[in-house]
Amino acid sequence: MKKRLWIMAAALMLPLAAWAMSLDEAKSQGLLGEQPNGFLGVVKATPEAVALAQDINQKRREAYLKIAQKNGISLEQVAALAGQKAIERTPKGQYVKTPEGQWLQK
Amino acid sequence: MKLVLAGVAVLGLSACSPRVALEAPKEPITINLNVKIEHEIRVKVDKDLDALFQDQSELFGGSSQ
């Protein structure tokens, strides 16, 4: 009986992974946007969007750090350049944050 | 599944809610951050970042761009 419960629990967990949101989905749904500091910001907080932003921002930080160390500049400088690039590349309709801290829909 | 349906319903509702008319800006939004870095390093970092955006598109999205 207990075993069956475990199997049912596991079966219930599976679809969760399949429903995990992609970054493009979160951005096009207006949940996440690019910030000048090079990291994702949460425009509209849903648990899934917040978790996704945290996960990706952690990975971005690691990537920025590598580039910073390679070129002998600070993490913040790399991140700011990345932020500028990410904002430039953001397609129309998605959110970007101004240096003043305001969310704008491009 | 129910949760997903509820989520879809909520999305549907929010799509129908009255929307404040926002006029699209006529000029493209340009945000100048004035990052001060030596030019040569800036070019190199720029290249590294381009590679990063390309190779790790899941971190930045817009792989179709």
* pLDDT per position as a tens digit, B5-62: 555 555 555 556 666 666 766 777 666 666 666 788 889 999 999 999 999 989 998 7
The pTM score is 0.68
Partners of A97 in the beta sheet? A103
Name residue A84's amino acid.
Q
Contact B31 A82 (CB under 8 A): no
Backbone angles phi, psi at A40, to 5 degrees: -70, 140
Between B44, B53, B63, which is nearest A71 by CB? B44
Residue of B nearest to A100 (CA): B31
Closest CA to A64 of B52, B37, B40: B52
Chain A residues in contact with B15 (beta carbon < 8 A): none
Contact B45 A60 (CB under 8 A): no
